[in-house]
Amino acid sequence: MPFGYYLIEGITKMMFQKLNSIKPGTSAAIQFQCWQREVSKVLSLSKRLPEASTFASLHLLQVCHNFVSADPISISNMKEIMKAGKGSKGPDIFNQKFIETIFSLMKKLPNNNENSILKLSFINECLDMVPKNSPSHKDLYQNMFSQKPFHFMSPIIIRVLKCEEKDSSFTTLHSLNNKASFNLFFTSLKKKDSADKSLIALIGFIISRLHIIRASRDWTEEEKKIAEFLKEKVDHSSVPSTIYKQTINNIISNNHSLLRINQNVTNSELLVKSVIGHVIALHASIPAESTPLAYMLHNLNNCSDLFIPTCVSDTEVLDSNKDNEPLSLYFGDPTLNLWASWINEEVVDNCFPENLLVKHIFEAFMLVSARIEAIKKQLPSATKTAATNSPPITKVVTSKKAPKTISKSTSTLFATRKSNPKISSSSGARSLEATASKTQLTKTSTSQVQKKDTVKKG
């Protein structure tokens, strides 16, 4: 240990002994003043040493020096301060117990200019010495803002806000060369069991900590740099979903049609956009076959804004009687095809009712899905393997003709073909039941034909 260490420890110990020896009485005020003058000289000389900030005894001596002249502070209060700071090393003196002890004494002080300067001095010293990652930092903020407002408190608030923006800002990430906060997400993406969670969390993190800033101000240079880092990292990642990468890029560039944010956005709009953003994040992160919504989201590149009424008259009809209108009014692109190429076109035609309404879309989806699964089970094992691994045309047992690749658009599949478009809910349900019966009869007759062909060949 250097000589300065023993010198400071010896002097501070001597000054604490003098303070502890002061007895209550008429002469206590004079003794406090003499002790305070001696401590002022010790602190002035000790701070010239380069390692002065590492001595807990000096920090404790400084606090006692500041509080000894306060009016309601007694000898017992000073002993309480010394006891709370005893045994600490270096800046660790500003621990939870010590901070709570000082703030409890500060609450007893009258709200005047002299005591306000005393409070200001202690809080500034705590902000200088307590590290951001220390557990005491939260206790400091909690005690500081639970105090009644006092004079000269505005500089403290401004300093805290600037400190938080500088040290804890998402955009700086402690330094521009430290991308550890994001590396946790990209490391998790390599693990299959937690890949979906990390994908969802990454988009949510971008929305809540970066994209949402646009509602109050423009991005700073640091925020623009971190956005470029994110785009580069996502573009070169092994994420299999194209829509996932496009979603992140559109959010970062503020070009997403549903999530675009500017400074004119209201609080309610901002909340709605945040919810929509997390819903998109969920379905862009999970496999396309997980849910119907995820399947449609992953195929958005083929849709080209299809979910728009095709003309003005359609818009008027939808506004007046939306539930009873056929889905053909919602689709305008004749090239859209939501079904895999190995599914026979006749099967799709047979599975759908004559008139599919908006209110029946979920029942229709379940009906078609069940029918497709039944047909897949009838395929020979070799054909089933080919259908799973690749999209070429595959023969279906239920038809002797070579099946064609589906060319019907969604506007045809979901359209009104013959019936009156304003069909009621009950008639739509009956059409579904009739279709199910029709497909079951087709299946039975086809299997009987197959058995006859087998007998003839035998």
99 and 72 Cβ atoms separated by less than 8 Å: no
- Return the pLDDT at 177: 46
Average model confidence (pLDDT) across the chain: 67
pLDDT of residue 62: 82
Q: Residue 235: name the closest of 222, 249, 221 by CA.
A: 249
CA dist 102 and 77 (Å) reads 9
Contact 312, 377 (CB under 8 A): no
pLDDT category of residue 311 using cuts at 50, 70 and 90: very low
pLDDT band at 106 (very low <50, low <70, confident <90, very high): confident
Highest mean pLDDT range out of 358-362, 368-372, 409-413, 440-444? 368-372
- Render pLDDT for 114-135 as a digit per residue (tens, 0 to 9): 778 888 888 888 887 777 777 7
Q: Which residues, 6+ apart, have CB-to-CB distance to 395 below 8 Å?
A: 383, 402, 403
Burial label, 371 (beta-carbon count in 10 A; 0-12, 13-18, 19+) = buried
Rounded Cα gap, residues 143 and 165, in angstroms? 20
pTM for the predicted model, two decimal places: 0.36
Residue 91 has pLDDT above 80, yes or no: no
Q: Give backbone dihedrals phi and psi of 355, rounded to 5 degrees, phi first.
A: -140, 110
pLDDT tier for residue 403 given thresholds of 50, 70 and 90: very low
User: Is it the case that residue 458 has pLDDT exceeding 50?
Assistant: no
Model confidence at 99: pLDDT above 80: yes
Among 89-98, 115-124, 164-173, 335-344, whose mean pLDDT is lowest? 164-173
Core vs surface per residue 390-421: b (16+ CB within 10 A) or e: eeeebebebeeeebeebebbbbbbbbbeeeee
The DSSP-derived string for 390-430 is --S----TT-SSPPPPP---HHHHTS--SS-SS--HHHHHH
CB-CB contact of 175 with 169 (8 Å): no
CA atoms within 13 A on the CB side of 90: 5
Taking residues 299-303, report their average pLDDT. Answer: 65
Average of pLDDT values for 283-290?
Answer: 80
- Please report, rounded to a whole number, the percentage of residues in the chain having pLDDT higher than 90: 0
- pLDDT value for 359: 53
Quickly list DSSP for 112-176: SHHHHHHHHHHHHHHHHHS-TTSHHHHHHHHHHHHSPP-TT-HHHHHHHHHHHHHHS-TTTTTST
The CA-CA-CA angle for residues 443, 445, 451, to 5°, reads 105
Confidence class for position 158, pLDDT limits 50, 70, 90: confident
Task: Tell me which amino acid residue 302 is.
Answer: N
Per-residue model confidence (pLDDT) at position 343: 56
More confident call, 454 vs 210? 210
